[in-house]
Amino acid sequence: MPLYRHTLRSPMAFRAASAIESCLYRGTGLSRRLPRLQLLGAEEIARAYPLPRRDLAGAALWHDLVADDMETLLRKILADAGASGAALMEDTEAGELIVADNHDAGNRI
């Protein structure tokens, strides 16, 4: 996430949030499994992504989830999507993205 000086999305705010999160995770065992917050430099991020550079302080990279069984997680997500009316297709290559009102409205197959 890009971080900017003089905003709530600043490096200092993310360091504080990371410290609070570490306290909340203490005792759950998750804190040892999740990589620590990384603060990336402004130049590195500006070269890699087309971001507004005014007051850019860098970016935050953090992890807040460990998925021990990705297959089960994916199956549950797909089951929920199917139950909500999504069309689920296996072994199908997505074609052109259909955009309506600046939102993803589907894919041409």
- CA pair distance 31, 106, nearest whole angstrom: 38
58 C-beta neighbours (distance < 10 Å), count: 22
Per-residue model confidence (pLDDT) at position 32 = 67
DSSP class of 12 = H
Residues of the chain with pLDDT under 50: none
pLDDT of residue 102: 87
Residue 104 has a pLDDT of 87
pLDDT of residue 48: 94
Pairing of strands 56-61, 97-100: unpaired
pTM of the model: 0.57
Q: How far apart are CA 57 and CA 51, in angstroms?
A: 11
